[in-house]
Amino acid sequence: MKDLRKLLLWLVASLVLGALLAPLLFWCAHPLAARGIFPSVTGQGFHRYFSRTVEVVALLLLWPLARSLKVRTLAELGLEWDIRWPHRLALGFFAAVALMAVMAAILLAFGGVIFLPAGQRLFGELPKVLFTAACVGFIEECIFRGAFLGLLQRTMPRTGALLASALFFALVHFIQPLASTVAPADVAWSSGFALIPEIFGQWKNPVMVIASFSTLLAVGWVLGWAMQRTRSLWLGIGLHAGWVFCVQGFGKFASFTPGKLPWIGADIRIGLAPLVTVILTGAVCRACLGHERRDDHA
């Protein structure tokens, strides 16, 4: 119970400090867009600054959290140094991208994909998307698998901890602010806190919640399994980065045909097709790791 209280305090502190610091980061970075300095990054809406600031704060607070929980080594979180990390990072990324590409090709064959007009295709932004995907994959795997799942494993059975962390991962992705209409000139010190009530806005559409939640739950399960199976975060970072790259990169040149549920929803994360794809990606990674020595608990 003491560990749980400290985890909850860490989550609340991350949200509050993130809300407090997001306006400051916005004021420092957003004017750079007007000067043409990384406009695709610095020109993001305030809700993006809020989300990323909360994630970075949560990452930075992992150290005092670990100290308070008396975590002295990575082994206490079920982690160890992985000499195969380049292979596992590449395996995760390319497996995620390849299976998503196969899914998109199948949907294209059934008329489920619409390519944007030539003038609206932003292939030049894909390197930026790749950088964003790498950052998100690293930060979120450190938080959700390195810290949260690792700490749960200290007091729970492995399967129970895996399920709890997957549920938590899926739930957290439904308490993020939607694209807001806060104009740059209207951003104030209280703007971050004003977004907090809006983070539950996605629950207004129960059909989309169920369709998206099931996929996110599968993603959380596969990423948690990857951490437990390899005792490292590298396979999960590769998978996570690959999926983020597909989700954000696909929208730069194509979209999905409306009304394709349950096969596909408003974006690449929603529907039966991405759910099956995520499960198959986990199966592919499992098969690729099959020849490696398994630990006693795998």
pLDDT by residue (tens digit) across 216-233? Answer: 999 999 999 999 999 999
- The C-alpha atoms of residue 6 and residue 13 are separated, in whole angstroms, by 10
Spatial distance between the Cα atoms of 235 and 50, rounded to a whole number of angstroms: 28
Sign for the pseudo-dihedral over CA of 289, 293, 295, 298: positive
Q: Which of 51, 19, 18 is nearest to 202 (CA)?
A: 51
Q: Tell me, what's the pLDDT at 106?
A: 86
The domains of the chain are located at 2-288
User: What is the pairing mode between strands 113-115 and 254-256?
Assistant: antiparallel
Encode pLDDT of 85-127 as tens digits.
999 999 999 999 999 999 988 888 887 788 888 888 888 888 9
pLDDT of residue 296: 40
pLDDT in tens, 170-204: 888 766 666 666 777 788 888 888 877 766 666 66
Closest by CA to 77, choosing from 158, 150, 160, 144, is 150
Q: What pTM does this model have?
A: 0.82
